[in-house]
Structure 1
Amino acid sequence: MHRSRLLKWALVTLALAGCATTKGATGTEPVLAIRNVRIFDGQRVIPEGTVVVSGGKILAVGADVSPPEGAEVLDGQGQTLLPGLIDAHFHADGPDAYRAALAFGATTVLDMFAQLSSAGARTPVEQLPQRGPDEADNLMGLLITAPGAHGTEYPGVTALTATTPQECEAAVERAVAAGSRFIKLVYDSGEFITPQPVPTLKREVMAGCIQAAHARNRMVVVHATTARESRETLEAGVDGIVHGIAGPMPDDAYLQLLVQRGAFVVPTLAVIHAAAGQGHLERVLNDQLLEPYVTPSSLAMLKLTFPEGFGALLRPDVTRQYTRKLVEAGVPVLAGSDSFNPGVTVGASLHYELELLVESGLTPEQTLAAATSVPATAFHLSDRGRIAPGLRADLLLVRGDPTKDIRQARDIVGVWKEGRRLDRDAYRASVAAARAQGTKP
């Protein structure tokens, strides 16, 4: 046996030995080996290999890894194993949203506007309620906006507001105390989107919020939709922009500024198409890989449309061109559905977002990275987003080869969150029952 293979097998054996001494509720942790499978590890493709999982962690991965004795072995011939998907722009439409996200292969969602009341005004992160094993992991960010601006229009939602840099200090402090993993700002006057201008943070207030968040070791993302507003947030030090561009295409100097600042972009193509009257309801209804898993509430969201006049000047073709230029310039692009908006929904819209990213010029491999390793890196999630020893066993097994055809990513064989497999058949049955009864599953 080759020396490198001997070393790797020795490491696997040690890991399994350690796992065998860890007792769970039912005894020794079981070991799962998925073999003969194409592996996209979040960054590269292994044409055929094996992944070994136990105790919620990945123990080994590679072309020269063999299933250990006593392991449950799953043959992945003709299939591809991916890291669990990360939806980098998510809004829950209710408690079932996290369950739906997992059923579509998203093991982690980044909530871009967690309700303050749901977090608990001064609850430390360690005491926040965790999502259940049949739900996607929810990493939340609280939103800071201007009084009367976007984010304040939702009934029953407590949005943090600021009108001065000093008020930013208090708002950020409150968000951090509530357990916010990052801060989201609204810096958007509605130009090119809404019929009339809307309130937004003043530039010096926006900059003050970024400074206050960074002082507390929190990254900042911004809801901005024009090149001018996005540029101003970059000049203030923002870490990421969580929408595409409305209005004219930014110039090369703007792209260079993105690169210089090391900022990322979540273009949210699906919601921009929906706002421009180019929704994807029919695509979902005609796709048997998606439609049976769409809950009644999700179907209702897909059927909704934006108010008349909203998005009249949006140009999805410009947004796709912008996305292509981002990739060409080397700007990290992240996949995010912006679910819980008219015309988009949890899970199914993330897969449509992946399709739109490919249509915008990303390769399927770049697109899969945009939904796995790239958001994990951007949001400093060092325990997920890749298939590598020691990381969480968040996995998505699909038929075919999504590194060639991104639509294969929706042909799901299995989803594992921290090594626990979701019963998708039971979930599908619950959706069917809910439709028959006209209720949520």
Structure 2
Amino acid sequence: MASRNPLRAYEHATIIDVTDVTGRPLRPDQTVLVDGDTITAIGPSAQLPVPAEATVTDLSGKYVIPGLADMHVHSESGTDDERHFPAIYVANGITTVREMWGKPLLHEWRRKVETGASLGPRSVIASPLVDGSPALWADISADSPVITATTTAEARRAVGEAIDSGADFVKVYSRLEREPYFAVLDEAAKRDIPVAGHRSDNVPLAEQIEAGQRSFEHVHGLWPATAADTGRFEAAMASIAPGQGIQYASWFKQVNDIEWEATENYSAAAASSLFERMVAADVAYCPTLIMHTAVDLPDGIVFDDPRLSYLPPDTAQMWEFVGEQVFRGGGRDAIETARRITLFGRRLAAVAALDEAGVRLLAGTDAVTPGLFPGFSLHDELELLVRAGLTPLRALRAATIEPARFLGRAEKTGSTEEGKLADFVVLDANPLDDIGNTREINAVVLGGRYLGAEERDALLATASAIAAAHG
């Protein structure tokens, strides 16, 4: 067990209040007292008494934001070492992750973090994927399990298996048929476990929203429900039949063709109606825009990025295969390439419309998609949210307080307030001036443990060594 963290005082900080509704989120010259793993007091530095036994850290000129949450990750580097991905997350200021493909190893990692045997973010873990037949990952090598549910009995059993595995929620996938999909939702409601994941190709999105699915991932399932002739495009989704070759590549190609035509027939009225349903049902959306840059714009993947040193040596080779065979489906002509560039711009516009409508947005990356890096890519996602039209504060909320509220943890995490867990990030520059400043990390505080530049460098060095040894 880790020893209790000492009493600490962080003086003269500018706190960014992500819960602010007054239009004045900056709280300058504040002192934050942390006892053990909890923030015990916050107040003006000139007024808040600091106990003599406290270790004092001067944060003059620094900005404090809550610990960040990446709400769509896949910690599957192949090293099976709990010091690898968790260390990279923490070094990047990420104190919460939502693991979107459950497997026993992730539960083992979580147990070690919770007992203090290992350092890592707080994690929320999905069930194995629950998909139809053939499952999209059936012919691609993956080290995580897939549950195939083609009947209502199998669907209900899948929920029980998820609970027995210790999963925090059931992850549904794209090829679930109508009856199994609704059976999953019904059984999950009876057994009080949330459902999140992809939309089903076989059920209109509006019905899924009102059936109780708590969050939807990625933008590529949105468009049929926002077209003028919604019924026609939802029917086209239901008619998708992955063909020869790699199932995922075939599915992607068919979805993308439907996306293009649906966006050409976009209806603001249909979109507004859909988004109102999301708000009424308290459904969250995790757009993973950084993932869509890889899928829509694979020519932008950089194969000599220095951050590859934190991943196994064969990573670039894997990226090339997935980019060519899955994303491009073996090749794209000039017309499709141009369409995908346009589609990405439309994804940005859709996220802005979701935000304007009041839909809860969750920042997530889908790392380890080719071109993405665990931890680092969340900062890219925040920049894309701002590029889409969110203010920097709204983007920060999507990675802090909104995930906490979605997970039912807002009483303990998601903002820097008295009584909450001491999970926060100290920045050298103001992210409200430039969201890219979330990368300017001076220190990370995780559960009251202070990790300055030296400690963060050590975490990244360990991750790099583990990755190199895996090769």
TM range (shorter): 0.7 to 0.9
Contact 2:5/2:37, CA 8 A, preserved across alignment: no
Decide which moves more: 58-67 or 384-393. Answer: 58-67
Residues 387-408 of structure 1: per-residue CA shift (max 9 Å, x gap): 1222211111111101221111
Task: Work out the CA distance in 2 between the residues paired with 1:358 and 1:276.
Answer: 19
Q: Which residue of 1 aligns with 2:289?
A: 269
Task: Work out the CA distance in 2 between the residues paired with 1:204 and 1:225.
Answer: 11
Contact 1:358/1:406, CA 8 A, preserved across alignment: yes
1:359 paired with 2:393, answer no
Change (3 A) 1:339 1:222: same
Amino acid in the other structure paired with 1:254: L
Q: Which residue of 2 aligns with 1:115?
A: 103
Task: Work out the CA distance in 1 between the residues paired with 2:436 and 2:309.
Answer: 17
Task: Work out the CA distance in 1 between the residues paired with 2:309 and 2:31.
Answer: 32
Q: Which has the higher helix share?
A: 2
Change (3 A) 1:255 1:401: same
1:205 paired with 2:180, answer yes
Report % sequence identity: 28
Cα displacement (A) at 1:127: 10
Q: In the alignment, which of 20, 43, 60 is matched to residue 41 of structure 2?
A: 60
Change (3 A) 1:332 1:234: same
Task: Work out the CA distance in 1 between the residues paired with 2:407 and 2:359.
Answer: 15
Residues 167-201 of structure 1: per-residue CA shift (max 9 Å, x gap): 22111011011111111111x3xxxxxxxxxxx11
Residues 83-119 of structure 1: per-residue CA shift (max 9 Å, x gap): 1111000100233112211111111110011125754
Amino acid in the other structure paired with 1:55: G
Amino acid in the other structure paired with 2:364: G
Q: In the alignment, which of 307, 311, 316 is matched to residue 324 of structure 2?
A: 307
Amino acid in the other structure paired with 2:376: A
Q: What are the equivalent positions in structure 2 for 1:257-336 lying under 5 Å apart?
A: 257-278=277-298, 281=301, 285=305, 295-297=310-312, 300=315, 304=320, 306-308=323-325, 310=327, 314=340, 315-336=343-364
Q: Which residue of 1 aligns with 2:251?
A: none
Amino acid in the other structure paired with 2:14: R
Contact 2:290/2:377, CA 8 A, preserved across alignment: yes
Change (3 A) 1:408 1:440: farther
Amino acid in the other structure paired with 1:238: Q
Task: Work out the CA distance in 1 between the residues paired with 2:304 and 2:358.
Answer: 32
3-state SS, counterpart of residue 327 of structure 2: coil
Change (3 A) 1:33 1:323: same
Q: In the alignment, which of 407, 415, 436 is matched to residue 444 of structure 2?
A: 415
3-state SS, counterpart of residue 312 of structure 2: helix
Q: Which residue of 2 aligns with 1:378?
A: 406
Q: Which residue of 2 aligns with 1:92?
A: 75
Amino acid in the other structure paired with 2:186: Q
Task: Work out the CA distance in 2 between the residues paired with 1:227 and 1:399.
Answer: 48
Change (3 A) 1:56 1:243: same
Task: Work out the CA distance in 2 between the residues paired with 1:162 and 1:138.
Answer: 26
Q: Which residue of 2 aligns with 1:394?
A: 423
Q: Which residue of 1 aligns with 2:124?
A: 139
Cα displacement (A) at 1:293: 9.1
Task: Work out the CA distance in 2 between the residues paired with 1:420 and 1:151.
Answer: 39
Q: In the alignment, which of 255, 258, 266 is matched to residue 275 of structure 2?
A: 255
Q: Which residue of 2 aligns with 1:221?
A: 196
Q: Which residue of 2 aligns with 1:102?
A: 90
Residues 16-75 of structure 1: per-residue CA shift (max 9 Å, x gap): xxxxxxxx976x852111111111243233233111111111111233534332211111
Residues 199-245 of structure 1: per-residue CA shift (max 9 Å, x gap): x1112211111121122111111213889743232132211112123
Q: In the alignment, which of 52, 56, 72 is matched to residue 69 of structure 1?
A: 52
Contact 2:39/2:419, CA 8 A, preserved across alignment: yes
Task: Work out the CA distance in 2 between the residues paired with 1:72 and 1:228.
Answer: 57
Change (3 A) 1:130 1:252: farther
Q: Which residue of 1 aligns with 2:160?
A: 173
Change (3 A) 1:377 1:132: farther
Contact 1:56/1:418, CA 8 A, preserved across alignment: yes
Residues 290-316 of structure 1: per-residue CA shift (max 9 Å, x gap): x56951439936954523463656421
Contact 2:421/2:447, CA 8 A, preserved across alignment: yes
Task: Work out the CA distance in 1 between the residues paired with 2:180 and 2:2.
Answer: 51
Contact 1:144/1:171, CA 8 A, preserved across alignment: yes
Contact 1:140/1:180, CA 8 A, preserved across alignment: yes
Contact 1:80/1:401, CA 8 A, preserved across alignment: yes
Amino acid in the other structure paired with 1:135: G
Amino acid in the other structure paired with 1:330: G
Q: CA RMSD in A?
A: 3.1
Task: Work out the CA distance in 1 between the residues paired with 2:288 and 2:314.
Answer: 19
Cα displacement (A) at 1:130: 5.9
3-state SS, counterpart of residue 408 of structure 1: helix
Contact 2:294/2:301, CA 8 A, preserved across alignment: no
Contact 1:270/1:352, CA 8 A, preserved across alignment: yes
Contact 2:177/2:200, CA 8 A, preserved across alignment: no
3-state SS, counterpart of residue 170 of structure 1: helix
Amino acid in the other structure paired with 2:197: V
Q: Which residue of 1 aligns with 2:469?
A: 439
Change (3 A) 1:25 1:224: closer
Contact 2:424/2:444, CA 8 A, preserved across alignment: yes
Task: Work out the CA distance in 2 between the residues paired with 1:332 and 1:138.
Answer: 20
Please, which runs of 5 or more residues in structure 2 have no aligned partner?
222-258, 329-335
Task: Work out the CA distance in 1 between the residues paired with 2:112 and 2:11.
Answer: 38
Change (3 A) 1:434 1:202: closer
Amino acid in the other structure paired with 1:376: A
3-state SS, counterpart of residue 306 of structure 1: helix
Change (3 A) 1:281 1:25: closer
Change (3 A) 1:131 1:89: farther
Amino acid in the other structure paired with 1:307: E
